[in-house]
């Protein structure tokens, strides 16, 4: 079958297992996937969905890192940790079920805190995915990845809302473009009824490049009246994300349905702070948004996790245009949106 970028051949068993994927995006893309080493930080509901998708895609190795214990809250959307694992480390509790999804992928669990890891820890990975993190931890992980040219993704789900951020640096990818070729008509002197036009389609692979904005800049945009009007549809989830990040920084956790009354009140206070700091209208976030931000809803995790998994596959394989740089999902409206904040 040939070698991947690490010189390791794809075995017959792997070729059989990944046959559908190879037919979909090609053998070379599958080889790149087979050589990729992924780190997922955070094993709550969205982290579990991402891990599932990556293991099924056929990456080389997946490391799940989380220093938190399994809680009752996890059972809403975290399907990798069994109920009998309540109180145990979340990464270690998720190991067995994740490995069972695909024995050909090397899956490991790390119960340490990412902030305690040395800079050299990230050298072993091609892609880092940070989920459920506060803004300071996100930026810290991101800056370390950017310095080492490691592809970086961030994601989170808060109630009916979710997002993904990606920075692939200066990214090269290929796309297939189809062009319809019109054959020349037969001699002009022939009767019209005898003239024939035969169309055919030609497919060619085109190399393209794109560059991503930094996470820090994307999270600290200024919104003048001109900028607000320049955006086709200002995604309210972006501003809800800012509120959630501020909540995490203040309380060290996500909003919780078990503390509904106090957390909703706090979210509304933080909304006023965020929108005032950004100097934009409070009306850009619905008045009742707070009651829709509690816990992780499994359907939202599945949708956002599916997008993140797809984007990582595209980033690693170098095939097809990536989403640059935010994807936002609004479960109340039932739609997703891509927007680039710089």
The confidence score (pLDDT) of residue 190 equals 55
Same domain, 220 and 87: no
β pairing state of 335-339 and 127-131:
unpaired
Q: Does residue 200 sit within a domain?
A: no
Same domain, 273 and 161: no
Same domain, 60 and 165: yes
The confidence score (pLDDT) of residue 1 equals 34
Q: What is the pLDDT of residues 258-290, one digit of tens each?
A: 899 999 999 999 999 999 998 888 888 999 999
Same domain, 273 and 234: yes
Distance CA 164, CA 133 (A): 12
Q: Does residue 194 sit within a domain?
A: no
* Boundaries of domain holding 130: 15-169+297-339
Could you give the number of structural domains in the chain? Answer: 2
Same domain, 246 and 319: no
The confidence score (pLDDT) of residue 185 equals 47
Q: What is the pLDDT of residues 92-124, one digit of tens each?
A: 999 999 999 999 999 999 999 999 999 899 999
Same domain, 32 and 155: yes
Give the N- to C-terminal CA distance of the chain in Å, as an integer.
Answer: 43
Q: Does residue 191 sit within a domain?
A: no
What is the residue-wise DSSP string for 60-129?
A: SEEEEE--SBP-GGGGGT--SS-GGGTTSBHHHHTHHHHHHH-TTSEEEEE-S-GGGS-GGGGGG-SEEE
Q: What is the pLDDT of residues 44-89, one digit of tens each?
A: 999 999 999 999 999 999 999 999 999 998 998 999 999 999 999 9
Same domain, 121 and 42: yes
pTM value is: 0.88
We report the CATH number of the domain holding residue 121 as 3.40.50.720
């Amino acid at each position: 079958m040939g070698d991947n970028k690490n010189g390791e051949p794809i075995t017959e068993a792997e070729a059989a297992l990944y046959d559908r994927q190879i037919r979909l995006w090609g053998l070379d893309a599958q080889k790149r996937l087979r050589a990729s080493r992924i780190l997922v930080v955070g094993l709550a509901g969205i982290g579990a969905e991402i891990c599932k998708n990556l293991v099924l895609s056929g990456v080389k190795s997946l490391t799940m890192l989380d220093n938190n214990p399994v809680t009752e809250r996890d059972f809403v959307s975290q399907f990798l940790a069994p109920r009998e694992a309540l109180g145990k480390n979340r990464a270690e509790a998720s190991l067995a079920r994740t490995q069972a999804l695909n024995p050909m992928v090397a899956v490991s669990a790390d119960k340490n805190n990412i902030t305690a890891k040395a800079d050299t820890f990230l050298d072993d990975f091609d892609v880092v995915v940070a989920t459920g993190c506060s803004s300071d931890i996100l930026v810290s992980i991101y800056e370390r990845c950017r310095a080492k040219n490691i592809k970086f993704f961030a994601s989170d789900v808060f109630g009916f809302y979710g997002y993904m951020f990606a920075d692939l640096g200066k990214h090269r990818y290929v796309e297939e473009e189809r062009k319809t070729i019109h054959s020349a008509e037969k001699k002009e002197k022939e009767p019209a009824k005898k003239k024939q036009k035969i169309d055919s389609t030609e497919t060619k692979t085109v190399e393209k490049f794109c560059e991503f904005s930094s996470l820090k800049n994307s999270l600290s945009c200024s919104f003048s009246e001109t900028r607000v009007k320049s955006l086709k549809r200002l995604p309210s989830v972006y501003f809800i994300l800012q509120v959630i990040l501020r909540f995490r920084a203040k309380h060290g956790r996500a909003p919780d349905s078990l503390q509904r009354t106090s957390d909703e009140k706090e979210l509304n206070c933080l909304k006023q702070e965020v929108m005032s700091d950004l100097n934009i209208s409070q009306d850009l976030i619905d008045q009742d948004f707070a009651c829709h931000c509690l816990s992780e809803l499994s359907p939202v995790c599945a949708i956002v996790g599916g997008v993140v998994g797809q984007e990582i596959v595209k980033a690693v394989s170098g095939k097809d245009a990536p989403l640059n740089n935010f994807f936002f999902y609004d479960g109340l409206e039932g739609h997703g949106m891509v927007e680039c904040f710089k």
